[in-house]
Amino acid sequence: MKNKMTEQIEISSFSNEDNEKLKLCIENLKRLGNALQGYERDKNTFPEWLSELHPTYLEDNNHLICPADKDQGIQLLPYDVDPNLPVSYSYDCDPEYYERWMKKERHIYSDANPIVRCTHHGNIESDCSLLTNLHINLSFSNSIYISEGDWRKFPVEMYGGIEAAIAGYERALRLVPEDPNFFNLYSELIRLYVRANRNEDAEKLIKSFKSVMKPNENIMRFRDYWTLVDLLKVIGRYEKALSLLKRLQRIS
């Protein structure tokens, strides 16, 4: 993959035709981003469905269809289906989904959180040689970035740079330091510190994680240990990680 964060997003392993479809999809997402901002400016809220943008904010409803979508916006699963028009894109503000998940995630990841996503561009090989599904994300702040599968694991792309990603994830962690559902923030933030050669901050992060660990509370809190093993691995403390794993094995 190259040029993830520039205007000219291209996937090096894609054919010219697939890159052309990607380019047209990104143009659609830009239009959708502008349309959503217009809607929000006028109504102080986001629409329940993307189709509500048409025609006032999105003149041509063909822009709701990704050229790489073989089903042309016809959703095969009954979940999250726009009731008015064929739509290729996943919309994260539909009322049920937003209340259940997105409200909290948006609060935590702020406006870097995606609002619209396209998942029709197939798979690419990830860093560990596994095939992962490509997501083209449009964020609440109207920027476009590519991630593989879980966008939460791509903070640099989300925030548009490593220092911005560190600031974004530090802020996120201050909001939910003890919530095990967001322990992934510790794992991603320590990777960012290591990439930025901020080893002292990485050490401090492990200390603050240890202070919120409650491994004996109940069996589910084993994930505290798993997170700690991961943090230790990232900073190269393999022996400590291994002894922790052995301890885990004994108590499980």
CB atoms under 10 Å from CB of 165, counted, come to: 23
C-beta of residue 162 within 8 angstroms of C-beta of residue 192: yes
C-beta of residue 189 within 8 angstroms of C-beta of residue 171: no
Taking CB under 5 A as the rule, does residue 118 contact Zn ion?
A: yes
Which of 51, 131, 59 is CA-nearest to residue 84?
Answer: 51
Gyration radius of the chain over CA positions: 20
Which of 116, 40, 117, 75 is CA-nearest to residue 83?
Answer: 75
Q: Helices 199-212 and 184-195: crossing angle, nearest 10°?
A: 170
Interface with Zn ion in residues 37-56 (CB under 5 A):
none
- # of chain residues touching Zn ion (CB under 5 A): 5
- Cα distance between residue 35 and residue 54, in whole Å: 9
The span of 53-61, 65-73, 176-184, 230-238 binding Zn ion (CB under 5 A) equals 65-73
The span of 18-26, 33-41, 155-163, 209-217 binding Zn ion (CB under 5 A) equals 18-26
Cβ partners under 8 Å of residue 68, min gap 6: 18, 21, 22, 25, 118, 120, 121, 122
Interface with Zn ion in residues 73-102 (CB under 5 A):
none
The span of 41-49, 66-74, 176-184, 236-244 binding Zn ion (CB under 5 A) equals 66-74
The span of 22-30, 97-105, 197-205, 239-247 binding Zn ion (CB under 5 A) equals 22-30
As measured in angstroms, the least distance from the Cβ of 89 to Zn ion is 7
The span of 23-31, 71-79, 97-105, 180-188 binding Zn ion (CB under 5 A) equals 23-31
C-beta of residue 221 within 8 angstroms of C-beta of residue 215: yes
Site for Zn ion (CB under 5 A): which residue of 66, 102, 172, 185? Answer: 66
As measured in angstroms, the least distance from the Cβ of 26 to Zn ion is 8
Nearer residue to Zn ion within complex by CB, 90 or 227: 90
Site for Zn ion (CB under 5 A): which residue of 9, 25, 229, 232? Answer: 25
As measured in angstroms, the least distance from the Cβ of 22 to Zn ion is 7
Taking CB under 5 A as the rule, does residue 120 contact Zn ion?
A: yes
Residue ranges binding Zn ion (CB under 5 A): 25, 66, 68, 118, 120
